[in-house]
Chains A and B, each alone.
Chain A
Amino acid sequence: MVGGFRWAAMFPDEVWEHVFSFLPADADRNAAALVCRAWYRIERRSRWRVFVGNCYAVEPAAAVRRFPEVRAAAIKGKPHFADFNLVPSDWGGGAEAWVEAMVEGWPHLEELRLKRMVVSDDCLELIARCFKNFKVLSLVSCEGFSTAGLAAIAANCRNLRELDLHENEVEDNCLHWMSHFPESFASLVTLNIACLEERLVGLLHRVPQLVDLGTGKFAAQHHPELFSKLESAIAGCKNLKSLSGFWEAGPTYLPAIYSVCEGLTSLNLSYATIQGPELIKLISWCKNLQRLWVMDLIEDDGLIAVAASCKLLQELRVFPSDPYGAAQPISLTEHGLVAISAGCPMLHSVLYFCRQMTNAALLTVAKNCPNFTCFRLCIMEPHTPDYITRQPLDAGFSAIVESCKHLRRLSLSGLLTDLVFKSIGASANCLEMLSVAFAGDGDAGLHYILSGCKNLRKLEIRDCPFGDKPLLDNAAKLETMRSLWMSSCSVTLGACRQLARKMPLLNVEVINERKRGLPLELQPDNCPVEKLYIYRTVAGPRSDTPSCVWILR
């Protein structure tokens, strides 16, 4: 574009770089890069933070080549449903290819965040050795490494500021890996090791400047002096804002953290099997809480107390203490959710596991909280209707999407018909991620979503009666999204083949874990597809598929 070239040259590159540094989101930088060649060139050399939502969407070498000055990278691997064992364990998501490319092309990398990837000890050792100014390592829901790999990080990363290791499957073969940390560890600000045992007290004395602490298997041995030691160690952490962990910690240890409660903005007790009354006592100290993760042991009464004390609350997650329902029923119902929605004006993000719900409650929540950005409700029994009216929960969820105009993430549950999808497709204009399970009547449901929801990026569906037609009718939509997961639906192999032929920029992965029968190439078109994962990519089909995954072309 001749005009574009001329005005871009009006200023030196550094001026444009400075201008671009004000662009808040990658999407804005991406848009700027499309304006003209000069801006493309300037933008790519000045981008220092990169987010790769799907590790297979682009070749690592290509990403590294395009953005040579990256200091901070975040990469995600497996589809979200891998967290719930729906994805075969050998599906992929290995980090080696990325780590090797980064070591080669981003020697100044300071920050690496990986989610749902398979990270080996070799990867950790490479990171520890090659990135001289490494400051932040975050591994969430990853697997494949051991504490020996962590020892390499602890020993070599002298400027480590943040080590966040929550919810990983880690092999614990190096008991004293934390002793490799420097004696005086003034740089560490975040330490979240909620997957390992550790000696908490000794550690805290070395890192009193901690802002974010996540304990691991804090073993509640009954030493009388341990309590006072713990109390004074925690009190010594004057900057503590975020606390999590306390697995198996009985209520006797909770008072040890009272001294820091007032300063806490984030508290995660979702691994602590503490009962309601103790939780209420603890939380009543935490007046400045913005984020609270708890177990449903808090019950409605506890949530009512939270609504009264925690007026700054923005995010609430309530996890099930007994997901499989064999124990006594917990008194956590829709009343707790309604109380929170009424009492916490800044609430915008909710994850709530419960066993009963009503449309009326959801309507009230929708009215109280028009600012929701994330609403995930999990009624644990599939197909559960409104327990008072016996109606589907269409009206309730419709109210949520119609009222919450900034909703970016939504998870549905309970008895739902195609009507709810009609509302979502029509109203959820900011929705980026939708999770659907055991819902809908037929193809129309999926069609409403794919033909609406203009900002949809991730769609994951399980056990719904959605078939071929809405997929094929909305094939172009799939290229505007990051990914689509469908399992236990009514999609056939023929439709997947058609889709793959029609859309070269999509990887259509069919996952079939049953080893019997013909190989996929020989199966007929009407063969049902058990699991389907479709994602856009510029890298073509990946080369690391296991035997249960076929990429159709």
Chain B
Amino acid sequence: MSTTESGNSSTESEVSGLDYEETQLTLAPPGGSKSEPERKRGFSESVDLRFGRPALEAHAKDPASGSSDGPVSGAGKSPASKAQVVGWPPVRSFRRNALRSCTYVKVAVDGTPYLRKVDLDAYAGYQQLLIALEEMFSCFTARDYTNERRLVDPVNGAAYVPTYEDKDGDWMLVGDVPWKMFVASCKRLRLMKSSEAVNLAPRTPQGCANAR
């Protein structure tokens, strides 16, 4: 697992474009495979900062932990799965959705009738987002063509370029701005046929390298 993508957007490794090894498909739900472990590690790290090692040891049911009453079987969970406990913390789903509502965006694919929704906050960067899109519309294979991100439908060879509508209503190519800025300004996503994408604002030659 790459340690360069630990959620710190100022050192995005996707500057170099899609790394083929890292786009290898795994059997996991969209967006879940690559980004979840990083989120969990980030969470455990923040727990470490606050509580120090002993707390984590108690969680892991270490009998030598020294805490007077260790957690009992059946009730404890391993640290890695903690972030996924269903219904915990006890926040109403209505409220949970409300907190995320500003980062949920619709994803449309040219030529298909169905819409999906993604939560941009669930991804640490463009790479994870593209992998998620690829898995979501499972007909695609992500390819890298000279610093551009494209998704290719293997059936008809049509190439799709991920684009988004920003808060000003303009359609832009995904990947030009730093990730956090993209998350804040993206209203919806559209996988546009490459032939149509030529009408969009042209990229700066070193668009990706400007990511800060």
Q: Do A and B bind each other?
A: yes
Residues in A lying within 8 Å of B, measured CB to CB: 81, 83-86, 141, 167-169, 195, 217, 247-248, 270-271, 273, 319-326, 329, 353, 355-356, 378, 380-385, 387, 390-392, 411, 415, 417, 435, 437-442, 462-465, 488-490
Which residues of A have CB within 8 Å of B91?
84, 319-320, 323, 353
A76 to B: closest C-beta gap in Å? 15
Q: Known: A167-B92, A324-B43. Is A441-B55 also a contact (CB below 8 A)?
A: no
Chain A residue, CB-CB nearest to B49: A329
CB pair A325–B94 under 8 Å, yes or no, is no
B125 to A: closest C-beta gap in Å? 14
CB pair A326–B43 under 8 Å, yes or no, is yes
B59-75 toward A: CB 8 Å interface, digit per residue (1/0)? 10000001111011111
CB pair B93–A84 under 8 Å, yes or no, is yes
CB pair A387–B75 under 8 Å, yes or no, is no
CB pair B74–A381 under 8 Å, yes or no, is no
CB pair B99–A321 under 8 Å, yes or no, is yes
Per the 8 Å Cβ criterion, residues 55-109 of B in contact with A are 55, 58-59, 66-69, 71-77, 82-83, 85-96, 98-99, 101-102
Q: Known: A83-B90, A248-B102, A325-B43. Is A384-B76 also a contact (CB below 8 A)?
A: no
Q: Known: A85-B87, A326-B39, A356-B51. Is A415-B92 also a contact (CB below 8 A)?
A: no
CB pair B89–A329 under 8 Å, yes or no, is no
Q: List 25 A-B contacts (CB under 8 A).
A: A83-B90, A83-B93, A84-B87, A84-B90, A84-B91, A85-B86, A85-B93, A270-B95, A271-B98, A321-B99, A322-B99, A326-B39, A329-B50, A355-B50, A382-B85, A383-B58, A385-B67, A387-B51, A411-B90, A417-B68, A439-B75, A462-B88, A464-B75, A465-B74, A465-B75
CB pair B7–A326 under 8 Å, yes or no, is yes
Which residues of A have CB within 8 Å of B59?
381-383
Contact count band on B: 35 or more
* Residue of A217, A248, A323, A391 most packed against chain B (CB within 10 A): A323
CB pair A441–B72 under 8 Å, yes or no, is yes
At the interface, yes or no: B42 with Cβ under 8 Å from chain A?
Answer: yes
Chain A residue, CB-CB nearest to B93: A85
Which residues of B have CB within 8 Å of A84?
86-88, 90-93
At the interface, yes or no: B169 with Cβ under 8 Å from chain A?
Answer: no
Chain A residue, CB-CB nearest to B97: A169
Ranked 9 nearest A-B pairs via Cβ: A84-B87, A417-B69, A465-B72, A167-B94, A325-B43, A83-B92, A380-B89, A86-B87, A84-B90
At the interface, yes or no: B54 with Cβ under 8 Å from chain A?
Answer: yes
Which residues of B have CB within 8 Å of A462?
87-88
Which residues of B have CB within 8 Å of A464?
75
